[in-house]
Each structure stands twice: as C-alpha cells, then as structure tokens.
Amino acid sequence: MSNSKPIAVVVGASRGIGAEFVKQLNEAGYHVVATVRRPTVVLGASKVIDSIELGSDESMERAGQSVPEADLLIVNASIGDDEILLSTDSKKLNHYLDINVTGTHRAIHAFLPALRARKTRKIVVLATFCGSFEVAVNRPFPTFNGPYAVSKVALNMLAIQFHRELAKEAFTVMPIDPGWVDTDMGRLAGDPLKEGGHTPENSIKGMLKVISSIKQDDPIRVLDYAGEVIPW
C-alpha cells in the first residue's frame, strides 16, 4: 500500500460506532480500511472489504492479507443483547465468547503483519463498564449483565495479555469504553439521548482523542471515551 497517510483498519464498520469511526478517521487524515459483513457503502472509507465475519478464521485471514500496512487497528464488531445467564444456553454463551473474545483474537492475529509493517502499532478493542467487577458488584447496571458482560470481562484479559506479549515490539493495546451510545445495541437498554447517553459523534470524537494521547509505555487500563479510568 505504501501510503504516506496514517492507515487505520476498522473491523465492523457498516453502521453505528464503526461507521462513525471511519468517518472521523477519514476527516482526521487517515487512509481508512473498513471491514463489513455484507456489501455496504461506508462513507469515508478508502477501501471496503466485505463478507468479513469475526467468527471465521478464513474470513479474517483474507481481510488481513489484503492490507499490507496499518498504523491502527480498531476491533469494533461484537454482539450484545439484554439477556441473562439463566435463560442463556451453552450454545448461545459460546457464541458470545466466539464473537466478542475469540473473534477479537482472530482480528488481531490477522492484522499483526500489517501493523508490524509500520511503527505506530496501536490496537483498540471496544470495552465496556459492563465488564468491570467493581461496577458489577458495587454499582450494578440494570441491563446487559448476562453473557454480554461475561464476554467483555474475558475481552479485558485478552487485551492485557496481548499488551504484555506485544510490548517488546512497541505495540500498544487499548481497551476503550465508548459509553452508552445511541446505536441499535445501545437502544436495547433504553433511550440513550433521553437517559444520559450520547451520540456516536461525541463518543468517537472522545475516543480518538484518547487514542492519540496514549503512549507506548503507558500502563494498560480501561479508559472511557472521556479518558477516565474504569475500575477493573
């Protein structure tokens, strides 16, 4: 690709948070590669790779092989619903883990060669306060406490381990919570704009500031879109 612009890859960019990431990264001067599950026009994308599934090794490998260089990888794609463990069977729980945790593992592995071809080497995974032990025990949120929360706890540890293992190669792995955002998933918990949430525009604007501010030798922690630390 040999692009003089910084290159960002956004996994899961067809709508909501992912689409807004692409738009704002493009406005910030990035060459943006967007992956989507189905053929979709993604505003601001320099390249769109379609038919990409987080649940498929072959799919993610194909996406990674089509991007020779990247400075920033954002793994946005995930699944979530307002479900509880008592009504979640093992097949459904495994699906949550396969997409939200193993899928992120697939995506990171797929794009490591591209990230190693550049010097910035930042990886962002979308975390959530729903995956915090502190919040779950002392300030429980009324929704998204079942399989979704379980998978997001595991995602935090995945990020920690990748951060530790890749530190010697000057990588930075960052779990960032976008907050309660007015998206299809966010609306399952109520009306974000009427109940204290915010727009995708504000969330991504904040997250991009956080991403640009973090340095390679910073300790790993979960930050929200405003740069505040979320307790583990």
2 pLDDT above the threshold of 80: no
CATH for 43: 3.40.50.720
For residue 180, what pLDDT band results from cuts at 50, 70 and 90?
confident
With respect to residue 2, please indicate whether it lies within any of the assigned structural domains.
no
Pick the residue with more confidence: 143 or 148? 148
Q: Say which DSSP state 101 is in.
A: I
Q: How far apart are CA 116 and CA 112, in angstroms?
A: 6
With respect to residue 1, please indicate whether it lies within any of the assigned structural domains.
no
Report the pLDDT value the prediction gives residue 181, as an integer from 0 to 100: 84
Percent of the chain's residues with pLDDT above 90: 81
With respect to residue 186, please indicate whether it lies within any of the assigned structural domains.
yes
Q: Nearest CA to 71 among 165, 162, 172?
A: 172
The arithmetic mean of pLDDT across residues 127-151, rounded, is 91
With respect to residue 125, please indicate whether it lies within any of the assigned structural domains.
yes
Q: What is the mean pLDDT of the chain?
A: 93
For residue 142, what pLDDT band results from cuts at 50, 70 and 90?
confident
DSSP string for residues in 157-200: HHHHHHHHHHGGGT-EEEEEE--SBSSTTGGGGS-TTTTT-B-H
With respect to residue 111, please indicate whether it lies within any of the assigned structural domains.
yes
Report the pLDDT value the prediction gives residue 63, as an integer from 0 to 100: 97
Q: Say which DSSP state 130 is in.
A: G
Report the pLDDT value the prediction gives residue 3, as an integer from 0 to 100: 67
- Quickly tell me which residue has 């779990």 as its tokens: 175
Which residue segment(s) compose the domain that 218 sits in?
7-230
With respect to residue 179, please indicate whether it lies within any of the assigned structural domains.
yes
The overall pTM is greater than 0.75: yes
For the chain, what is the domain count?
1
In single-letter form, the type of residue at position 184 comes to D
The arithmetic mean of pLDDT across residues 181-199, rounded, is 82
